[in-house]
Amino acid sequence: MKPFQNLSRSIKAKNPISIFTNNLSNFPLDSRNITNDLISIFTKQPFPPNNPELESLAPLLNTKVVETVLVGLKNWKTALHFFTWASNQGPYKHNVYTYNAMASILSHARQKAPLRALSMDVVNSRCLMSPGALGFLIRCLGNAGLVVEANLLFDHVQKMGLCVPNSYSYTCLLEVLSKSSCIDLLEMRLKEMNDHGWGFDKYTLTPVLQVYCNMAEFDKALDVFNEIHNRGWVDEYVLSILVLAFSKWGKVDKACELIETMQEKNVRLNKKTFCSLIYGFVKESRVDKALHLFDKMKKSGFAPDISLYDVIIGGLCVNKDVKKALCLYSEMKEFKIQPDAKIVTKLVSSFSKEELTCFFEEMHEDIDPKASTLLYNAVLTSLVDNGSVHKAYHLLQAIMIGNCNGDGEIGRMFRGKATVPPNTTTFSIVINGLIKTGNLDLAVGLFRDMAQIGCKPGLLLYNNLIDALCTSDRLQESCGLLQEMEDSGIEPTSFTNNCIFGCLCRRHDISGALHLLKKMRIHGHVPWIKHSTSLVKELCKHRKEAEACKFLVDMAEEGFQPDIVAYSACLDGLIKIQEVDQALKLFQDMCAQGYRPDVIAYNILIKGLCKTQRIAEAQNLLHEMEEKGLAPSAVTYNTLIDGLCKTDHLEEAMLFLSMMIEKEREPNAITYSTLINGLCNAGRPDDALVLWNEMGRKGCTPTSIAYMAFIHGLSNCGRPNEALVYLREMEEREMKPDTYVYVALLSAFLVDSNQPLAFEILQEMVDKGKFPDLHDKNHISVRNAMVKLSEDARTCSSIKNLLAKGSIPSASLSVTGIKDGDGPAI
């Protein structure tokens, strides 16, 4: 039973979404015509954005028309597109009922991002609302899992004076909070409700009971349950919440005690609760308790169905309690419940050889053709499930020719029995098994054998084979099967076409993909976003950004609006080839078409602008994000901080660090590393040290990149002794520095005239395999350092010994100009 189902039923009539009915017959004729025209325009594929009729309809908009259009549109994307268009048609303004209509559509479609943005738009537009409308909107957010957003909305509308919540509003909020794990927040709201003088009823306390049960707070849950019981409000639903919670958390015996107690007080379990408990007991391998409840359920007058028998027989088979499983199997026959393939398969899989033989003998005594086929299919399923796909394949081949006289155990059981021609299910079992184990050629061959014996494949089998062939990049065969499918009168589904669409996208076959899209549009099939997005990403990866952009445009012209992820991939591709202005134009076009770019899309553009040192434009995009209700991520701030540091705007960069902390966007190692590197590059090592220590106090563990940036920066600032301390600390944490870090330290010690420590660093580079080769940009710096060390009396002999040992690649020696003793220059 869904949480608060009773509550939902009781309030639906009292709190409709709108103040008027959505029945068009009650609409004035003019409004009906406007509504029908708008629905027709926005559902037309492809959508004509410059339709002159829209311009004439815009001044006629009102909230009743908008709400009715929203209810009449069948697709959430189309509804959101219309809602966004209407928002921009001044002087029209949405009211709470149009917002709630849109919220209801997004909630049912589980579209969190646009629903989150909608809730912020309600607040920003200062939309007044009734307590009932507030409750409805909160429940829409809760049904989509936006618990935090629902709680914030509740606070905002109170503080801004947009609504005075009543007991219904609070009850809706408690219902939403019961889906989270935040007990403290729910208790606070309950106290707040009480302080405002709103009394508790059954529907208030039910979500409180639910959240305590969810969090295994059984003492508190029992207190609430007892309160409900003392007020005479306990019913089957309330009881089921507590019973199912006990069962979920392994307190099976406690659940049984509660059932007994409530039954003494004439509170009975309903059939759904009985079934849920039985499933739970079987899942915990407490099949004995499941059987006890199963008997009690039958005595209570509830008739068991095949799914319940399936679960219990399955549990008994797992426990190898075959006798009880067979008893239930016989009971099913008595109740005229025909066992299905799953049940027979479980029984067959759990039998010993002797039990299986006996079972076959019993079934064959008075078996009809249908039951015989079921038995064959159960055996084949058992073989496939146990990994004996080839045995299943050979058995099916034998059944097809009517010869089951094999030498194996299975063959002996079928020997002498009347065989029945296999059906579609028989072939599907084996073909699907072959597909899963990678035997695609055998699967295709068996599929062809079906036609020879007059067995027609079904939609699911066609789809599975086409999917497997497309995954294996066997496009021609897939298209051939698709044609066969259509010729046999089986209508391809969205899954069928998307399998082939995906294969075309993986092949970068743009013309083929667009041709299929036209066909899909005719059949009302929507292409899967992952395929079109993947194609765009691959095109951008291979430097074909122009083709990627054109594909998105062509896709839109076919009536399929690409996903924001596909657009983001295209934006990223343009940024990578430094086409920032083209990326900005694509971004503006997206917004003009009604798209709401997400944080990732903004981050891509901000990164591109920062890389080209267009920091002011990047900051404008940050402000635009915030105005649209998007919360900048740590990546957003880090990108801007990096851009500001590289353009010598350190103070502004430091302000962004403070902004991150204020907005609860915790700075990470990248944030601090970027700023520390910037401070060092600006010759401010003391400030860098302060920031490094602050990073540690904040509990942010430095990464190897952070260490290397800090050591490199200190070295360049002439602080090699401090840099060496952090190098040792880095090594203690088992982090391995890159060559450039050693080179920076080596150079810094030489500048500081500390040749002995410089040689120590050089020796460490050699020992750890960090000596740069001839093609490394650090090679010249190290070569020059070696010359200086050879000229110093303190390190000259050490350098010669190092060379004599052959520790340094010979190719590096010919250009050093260092002499070995009295000999010529090496």
Reported as a single tens digit per residue, the pLDDT across 244-272 is: 777 777 676 677 777 777 766 676 777 87
* Highest averaged pLDDT of the listed ranges 210-214, 401-405, 761-765: 761-765
> pLDDT at position 469, please?
95
Distance, CA of 712 to CA of 143 (rounded, Å): 52
* Rounded percentage of the chain residues whose pLDDT exceeds 70: 87
Q: Give the chain's count of helices (H) and strands (E).
A: 47, 0
Average pLDDT over residues 567-579: 84
pLDDT digits (tens, 9 = 90+) for 771-811: 888 888 888 888 888 888 888 888 888 888 888 777 776 55
- List the single range of 78-92, 393-407, 768-782 with lowest mean pLDDT: 393-407
Is the pLDDT at 171 greater than 70? The verdict is yes
Higher pLDDT, 265 or 308: 308
Q: At residue 825, what are phi and psi to the nearest 5 degrees?
A: -65, 135
Name 109's bridge partners: none
> pLDDT at position 384, please?
87
Cα 35 to Cα 14, 17, 78, 525: the distances in Å are 26, 18, 14, 26
Global pTM reads: 0.52
* Highest averaged pLDDT of the listed ranges 22-36, 249-263, 334-348, 621-635: 621-635
pLDDT-derived band of residue 587, with 50, 70 and 90 as boundaries? confident
Cα dihedral sign for 123, 125, 126, 129?
Answer: negative
Is the pLDDT at 377 greater than 50? The verdict is yes
Question: Beta-carbon neighbour count of residue 27 at 10 Å?
Answer: 18
Q: Is 825 helix (H, G, I), strand (E, B) or coil?
A: strand
Q: What residue type is assigned to position 730 of the chain?
A: M
> pLDDT at position 68, please?
92
pLDDT-derived band of residue 133, with 50, 70 and 90 as boundaries? very high
Average pLDDT over residues 205-229: 83
pLDDT-derived band of residue 419, with 50, 70 and 90 as boundaries? low
Could you tell me the two tokens for 785? Answer: 């350092």
pLDDT-derived band of residue 210, with 50, 70 and 90 as boundaries? confident
> pLDDT at position 5, please?
36
pLDDT-derived band of residue 8, with 50, 70 and 90 as boundaries? very low
Cβ atoms 651, 678 nearer than 8 A: no
pLDDT digits (tens, 9 = 90+) for 434-480: 999 999 999 999 999 888 888 889 999 999 999 999 999 999 999 99
The 3-class secondary structure across 393-436, one letter per residue, is HHHHHHHHCCCCCCCCHHHHHHCCCCCCCCCHHHHHHHHHHHHH
* Highest averaged pLDDT of the listed ranges 76-90, 171-185, 400-414: 76-90
DSSP 712-773: HHHHHTT-HHHHHHHHHHHHHTT----HHHHHHHHHHHHHTT-HHHHHHHHHHHHHTT----
> pLDDT at position 111, please?
92
Across the chain, mean pLDDT equals 83
Is the pLDDT at 415 greater than 60? The verdict is no
Is the pLDDT at 402 greater than 80? The verdict is no
pLDDT-derived band of residue 609, with 50, 70 and 90 as boundaries? very high
pLDDT digits (tens, 9 = 90+) for 649-698: 999 999 998 888 888 888 888 999 999 999 998 999 999 999 999 888 88
> pLDDT at position 49, please?
64
Higher pLDDT, 352 or 111: 111
Average pLDDT over residues 549-567: 79
Residue 530, judged by CB atoms within 10 A of its CB (0-12, 13-18, 19+), counts as middle
Name 825's bridge partners: 819
Is the pLDDT at 79 greater than 70? The verdict is yes
Average pLDDT over residues 573-580: 84
Is the pLDDT at 429 greater than 80? The verdict is yes
Q: Which long-range contacts (CB under 8 A, 24 or more apart) does 63-66 make?
A: 63/94, 63/95, 63/97, 63/98, 64/20, 64/27, 64/31, 65/31, 65/34, 65/35, 65/38, 66/92, 66/94, 66/98, 66/101
pLDDT-derived band of residue 368, with 50, 70 and 90 as boundaries? low
Could you tell me the two tokens for 243? Answer: 């019973």
